[in-house]
Structure 1
Amino acid sequence: MDSTTPAQPDFQSHHASHDREIESLAEFDKAVSAHGTLAHYRVQAVDLTARTDALMSADPTGAVFLGCPMAPEAAARVAAAGALVFPPIPGLPFEPYRAHVYSPEELYASLDEGYETTPDARAYDWFQRTKADGDVFASMLRAIHDDAVSDAVDELLAGARVVGVMGGHAMARGTSAYAGAARLGRELARAGFTVATGGGPGAMEAANLGAYAAPFDDGMLEDALLLLAEVASFTPSIADWARSAFEVRGRWPGGGASVGIPTWFYGHEPPNAFAARIAKYFANATREDGLLARSNAGVVFLPGAAGTVQEVFDNATPNYYESRGEPTPMVLVDRAHWTEKLPAWPLLTSLAGGRTMESKIALVDRIEEAPEALKRLGG
C-alpha cells in the first residue's frame, strides 16, 4: 500500500441534511430566500436572535423549532401562527437538541483551567447528579440529547464504509499493544475505511490516533507514539493525558478523520482527542448498539475485558439472526486471549456453526493480520 497517498473519508460529502431540516444559519437563510416560507421545516439548535424579521414574516405553519434562541416577539408570533416551539433549556452543560456530533475541541474547551471545568466533565457531573434522583425531566433531556446525537451520526456516516475497532481502555500508551492498535487504525484509514471506536482511552485512542496519522508519512506516528508515552494513562491526571494528545495534534495539524462513540455512563473514562467527530451518549446501551450497528464493513476485536466481551456477543447476535442483512465480518485478535484467558472464541464458533455468519468470523494471532483477515471476510 502506498503510504504517501492514503485514501481518506470525507465526512462533508457524507453529510446529507434532509430537505426539511435546518441545522445552521446558512441553511435557514437559504430556505427563507429560496422558498419564502418555513412551513413544515424542523429547525434544530440554531440561534435565531438575529433573524427576527424573517420569523415575523415567513409562514411557520407546521414548523418545529428545537432549542432555537429567538426574540420573545418572534417566538410568540411563530407559535401563534402554527409552529411548535421547544425553547432552549437554561442551565444545562450540554445542548439537548444539538444538530451535530461533538468535536474534541468542544468537549475539552477550557482544559487549560483544569479538566473539571470542561463541558465533558460538567456534563458527567450533571449526569451523576440527576441519574439517581428519578426526575422525569432530566431523563427526558438525556433521551432527547441521545436521539439528536444518533440523528447527527447517521447523517455524518451516510455512505461511509465503517470498521469498528473494539478493545479495552486499560491499554497503556508506550506499549507494543498500543502501537499495534495505532498502526491498525492507520492501515484501515489508508484503505479508505472510516475507523469507529468507543471513543475512550487505551485501544480506542490508539485506533483513532492511527486514523489521524494516516495522511502523514510513517515516521509521524512513531514520533507521536514517543511523545504520548510520556503520559501513559489518563490516571492520575485526565488533563495531562488530554493535553499531550492536543500537543500531538498541534505538531501535526490536519490529520485524518475518524469517529469516537463514548458514553458519560463511563464518564471516568474521558473521550480521546484523536477522533475528529465524537458522538457521546448518556445511555450506554444506545451507544453500544449504535457503534456496532454502524460498523457496516466489519469489526476488529482487540484484547479486552468485560466490555469488549459484551461487544463481541452484541455484534454476534444480529449476525446470527441476520437481522441487518448479510452478517458483517468479525475479526478477533490474539488467539491466547480469546481461547484461554477469556474463551469467547469457542462459544462464538459454536454459535456460528452451520450459519452464514460462520464464513464471516476469523481469529488471528497478531494485530498485523487483522486487515488481511477483514478483507478475506469481505470487509
Structure 2
Amino acid sequence: MVESKIKGALIQRRAQVEQKTTDQRLLDERGPADWVHTDPWRVLRMQAEFVEGFGALAELGPAVAIFGSARTKPEDPRYATAEELGGKLAQAGFAVITGGGPGTMEAANKGACQAGGVSVGLNIELPFEQGLNEWVDVGVNFRYFFARKTMFVKYSQGFVVLPGGFGTFDELFEAITLVQTGKITRFPIVLFGVDYWSGLLAWLEKAVLADGNIAAADLDIIKLTDDVDEVVRIMVEADGLAA
C-alpha cells in the first residue's frame, strides 16, 4: 500500500510525505524565519490586501478612477486639467480614485479634495519611493499589483485616462480587455487628450483592426475628448444606467 498523508487540501505520497504535522511545527519548533517569504505565506498576505481594500472602499459610493503620468509637474497645463477634472467629478457626486502618487494623480486628488469630495489613493510598493500625496483622504497601500487593480475596477464606475507612460497604458488596456470580454459592463473608458491619444487610436484602427485582431465595435469602447465637462457627462450618464 502506498504511504500517503492528507494535509488539508494537499495529498502527499511516497517520498513527499512529511513526518511532522503542521501543529508540531507551529508549537514545537521556533526554526528559521524564511517561512514568511514562501508562497503559501504570500497567499495570506494577498488575502489580507483584498480584505483591507474591500473594507476601506465598500461604502465609497459612486467613484471614477483617473490615471495619468506621475511625472507631470505642477506647472504643466495637464496638471491643471487633472485638478479641474477631479474637482468637477467630485461636484457631480463622485469619489475620485487615483494611484495616490505625484503628478496627474496628485492633481486629481487635489481637485477632488478641495471640491469637498472623497479623494482616494491606491498606492503600490515600488523599488523607488512613492508615498501617498497629501491630498488623499482615504489611502490604501498594496504590495501586489493585481490586488490593487481589482480595487480600481471594482469600486470605479469608469476610467479617465490622461497622458502617461507604461503604467497608464497597462491600466488602460486592462480595462478595455475587461469590457471587451464582458467581465465588466456599462463601464466608460475616456481618453483625455486628443493630440496625445489620436496616434494610438489610429494605429489600433489601421493595424490591429485591419489585421482582424479586434472587431470594429471594440473601438467603440473608448471615448476621446479634450472637454472636462464631457467627461463628467459621460460618467454621470453611465452611473444613471448602472443605478
TM-score between the two structures when normalised by the length of structure 1: 0.48
1:353: Cα distance to partner? 2.6
Matches within 5 A, 1:7-156: 135-138=34-37, 143-156=43-56
Superposed counterparts of 1:1-379, under 5 Å: 135-138=34-37, 143-159=43-59, 160-215=61-116, 256-265=117-126, 267-295=128-156, 297-324=157-184, 326-340=185-199, 343-344=200-201, 346-347=203-204, 350=209, 351=214, 353-354=216-217, 358=220, 360-377=221-238
The alpha carbon displacement at 1:173 in A equals: 1.4
Are the equivalent residues in 1 in contact too, given 2:54–2:151 (CA < 8 A)? no
Conserved 8 A contact 1:182-1:206:
yes
Partners of 2:65 and 2:38 lie apart in 1 by 29
Relative to 1, partners in 2 of residues 1:345 and 1:289: Cα closer, same or farther, differing over 3 Å?
farther
Change (3 A) 1:317 1:262: same
Deviation of 1:143 after TM superposition, in Å, equals 4.6
Q: What is aligned with 1:245? A: none
What letter is aligned with 1:334?
G
In structure 2, the residue corresponding to 1:314 is in which secondary structure?
helix
Structure 2, unaligned runs of 5 or more: 1-25, 27-33
Q: Residues 372, 186 of structure 1: CA spacing in aligned structure 2 closer, same or farther, 3 A cutoff?
A: same
RMSD (Å) for aligned C-alpha atoms: 2.8
Query: Could you say if the C-alpha distance between residues 281 and 329 of structure 1 is closer, same or farther in structure 2, counting changes exceeding 3 Å?
Result: same
**CA 323–197 in structure 1, closer or farther in 2 if over 3 Å, else same:** same
Q: Structure 1 residue 144: deviation in Å?
A: 3.3
Gap runs ≥5 in structure 1 = 1-85, 87-134, 216-255
1:184–1:334 CA distance, 2 compared to 1 (3 A):
same
**Alpha-carbon distance in 2 for matches of 1:339, 1:195:** 25
- Give distance in 1, aligned partners of 2:193 and 2:83: 16
Residues 288-333 of structure 1: CA deviation (Å, up to 9, x unaligned): 34323321x1110000011111111110111011113x24000000
Q: Give, in whole Å, the separation in 1 of the partners of 2:186 and 2:127.
A: 29
Relative to 1, partners in 2 of residues 1:345 and 1:375: Cα closer, same or farther, differing over 3 Å?
farther
1:377 deviation in Å? 5.0
Q: In the aligned structure 1, how far is the partner of 2:127 from the partner of 2:47? A: 19
SS at structure 1 position matched to 2:142:
coil
| CA shift in 2, pair 1:146/1:213, >3 Å | farther
Distance 2:204 2:141 in 1: 31
Equivalents in 1 of 2:57, 2:169: separation in Å?
25
Identity %: 30
Instruction: Give the TM-score of the pair, scaled to structure 2.
Output: 0.72
Distance 1:163 1:372, change over 3 A: same
Please state which structure has a larger fraction of its residues in strand.
2
For 2:230 and 2:202, locate their aligned partners in 1 and report how far apart those are by CA, in whole Å: 17
Aligned structure 1 segments of 4 or more residues deviating by more than 6 angstroms:
none
